[in-house]
């Protein structure tokens, strides 16, 4: 038999950063036996394909608060888990190309500051000091928060994997969750490619495939998987501390400690997972143009590799966290778009609370799955998306 037990307190579908962090919070709370299944290998989903950006500059207060907690968690990750995730707080610098964008950034800056985070509005000259070589006249200013930064995603996933197993969580790779067994509107267990696993709760942490798993369980959801591309250049002498982002075209890039520039840009693709995650010449060309346009000194720099992954987009740009009102014990932990890594430590703590039916301190208008079910709740929206 593939599973060590017949029955669990919870089965988590997906061993990405969200599923593993959820399992960690459950285990730390002494929830009882937890099983995590993943049909791929560790880091095969978005958690092994992202830019590692961790920022607290957002339009919505709920997201800022989760991100702020997550920054604190990544700062102590090494102590908590014994693994170095190379969290480097070089800041996030949003560029404004014109007055309208600067005004928008100023509004975000006000919200961020009112949450107690010392973001700064920068002049074009101050931007140029932080982005050496930026093309003259390319920006009118920017906003900057020094405590934002980047992590290296792989050790975060591996570190959590080791940590949850040490806490007694069973993680089984190469097993697909096919659906749930439900009676009288409540989850009783999960059907998998390795047989059934009994549990009163299932957590849908399936990333870009979360909508497919929800539907396999009879639940229609509005999440859409979108393919996003990213690349790494040849290494350069270190010159750039912050993650640099431009909201108008979703351009973002940072310099890793090995000197490579890693970044992406929005290039639309057919929604859904059907075509997998290939890279496209269209992206590499658009990204090269955008980078060289902004930083002419990058002309001639080689691209080492390019890859892609799925965002799991919700209609309002906010994650979906909590029990589905249509099926007791079915807990959503998805819809993280391009920011699941940076919200994982704190968001998944709320997922664990939802599993244990403890109060969750998140505004249901922003995070609950019920917000898409025609409850009439006033919509919130997070538009500061990248990539």
Q: Which is nearer to ligand FAD, 68 or 339 (CB)?
A: 339
Question: At its nearest, how many Å lie between ligand FAD and the CB of residue 48?
Answer: 7
Question: At its nearest, how many Å lie between ligand FAD and the CB of residue 186?
Answer: 20
Q: Distance between CA atoms of 139 and 11, rounded to whole angstroms?
A: 49
Q: Which is nearer to ligand FAD, 179 or 328 (CB)?
A: 179
Closest CA to 58 of 3, 113, 10: 113
- Beta strands 10-13 and 34-38 are parallel
Give Dmax over CA atoms of the chain in angstroms.
65
Per-residue tokens: 203: 């957590």
Q: Distance between CA atoms of 45 and 1, rounded to whole angstroms?
A: 26
Q: Which CB contacts under 8 angstroms, 24+ apart, belong to 267-273?
A: 267/229, 269/226, 269/227, 270/227, 271/224, 271/225, 271/226, 272/224, 272/225, 273/208, 273/209, 273/212, 273/225, 273/310
Question: At its nearest, how many Å lie between ligand FAD and the CB of residue 175?
Answer: 6
Q: Which is nearer to ligand FAD, 44 or 280 (CB)?
A: 44
Q: Which is nearer to ligand FAD, 40 or 259 (CB)?
A: 40
Question: At its nearest, how many Å lie between ligand FAD and the CB of residue 61?
Answer: 18
- Contact residues: ligand FAD, CB under 6 A: 13-19, 37-40, 44-47, 49-53, 176-177, 205-209, 213, 228, 230, 264, 309-311, 336, 338-342, 387
Positive or negative: CA dihedral 117, 123, 128, 129:
negative
Question: At its nearest, how many Å lie between ligand FAD and the CB of residue 117?
Answer: 17
Closest CA to 254 of 387, 382, 345: 387
Question: At its nearest, how many Å lie between ligand FAD and the CB of residue 46?
Answer: 3
Q: Which is nearer to ligand FAD, 17 or 171 (CB)?
A: 17
Q: Which is nearer to ligand FAD, 15 or 232 (CB)?
A: 15
């Amino acid at each position: 038999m593939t599973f060590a037990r017949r029955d669990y307190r919870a089965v988590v579908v997906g061993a990405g950063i969200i599923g593993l962090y959820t399992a960690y919070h459950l285990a730390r709370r002494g929830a009882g036996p937890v099983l995590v299944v993943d049909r791929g290998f560790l880091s095969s989903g978005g958690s092994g394909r992202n830019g590692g950006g961790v920022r607290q500059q957002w339009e919505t207060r709920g997201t800022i608060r989760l991100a702020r907690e997550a920054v604190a968690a990544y700062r102590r990750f090494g102590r908590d888990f014994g693994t170095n995730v190379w969290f480097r707080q070089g800041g996030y610098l949003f560029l404004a190309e014109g007055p309208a964008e600067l005004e928008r950034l100023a509004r975000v800056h006000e919200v961020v500051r009112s949450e107690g985070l010392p973001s700064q509005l920068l002049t074009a000259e101050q931007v140029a000091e932080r982005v050496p070589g930026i093309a003259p006249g390319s920006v009118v200013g920017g906003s900057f928060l020094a405590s934002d930064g980047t992590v290296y995603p792989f050790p975060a996933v591996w570190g959590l994997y080791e940590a949850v197993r040490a806490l007694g969580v069973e993680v089984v790779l190469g097993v697909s969750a096919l659906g749930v067994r439900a009676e009288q509107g409540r989850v009783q267990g999960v059907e998998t490619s390795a047989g059934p696993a009994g549990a009163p709760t299932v957590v849908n942490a399936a990333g870009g495939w979360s909508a497919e798993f929800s539907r396999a369980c009879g639940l229609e959801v509005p999440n859409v998987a979108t393919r996003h591309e990213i690349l790494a250049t040849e290494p350069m002498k270190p010159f750039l501390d912050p993650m640099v982002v431009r909201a108008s075209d979703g351009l973002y890039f940072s310099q890793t400690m090995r000197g490579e520039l890693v970044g992406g840009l929005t290039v639309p693709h057919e929604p859904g997972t059907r075509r997998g995650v290939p890279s496209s010449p269209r992206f590499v060309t658009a990204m090269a143009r955008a980078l060289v346009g902004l930083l002419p000194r990058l002309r001639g720099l080689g691209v080492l590799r390019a890859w892609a992954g799925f965002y799991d987009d919700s209609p309002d740009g906010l994650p979906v966290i909590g029990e589905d009102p249509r099926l007791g014990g079915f807990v959503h932990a998805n819809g993280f778009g391009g920011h699941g890594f940076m919200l994982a430590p704190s968001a998944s703590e709320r997922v664990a609370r939802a599993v244990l039916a403890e109060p969750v301190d998140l505004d249901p208008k922003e995070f609950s799955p019920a917000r898409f079910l025609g409850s009439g709740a006033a919509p919130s929206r997070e538009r500061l998306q990248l990539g």
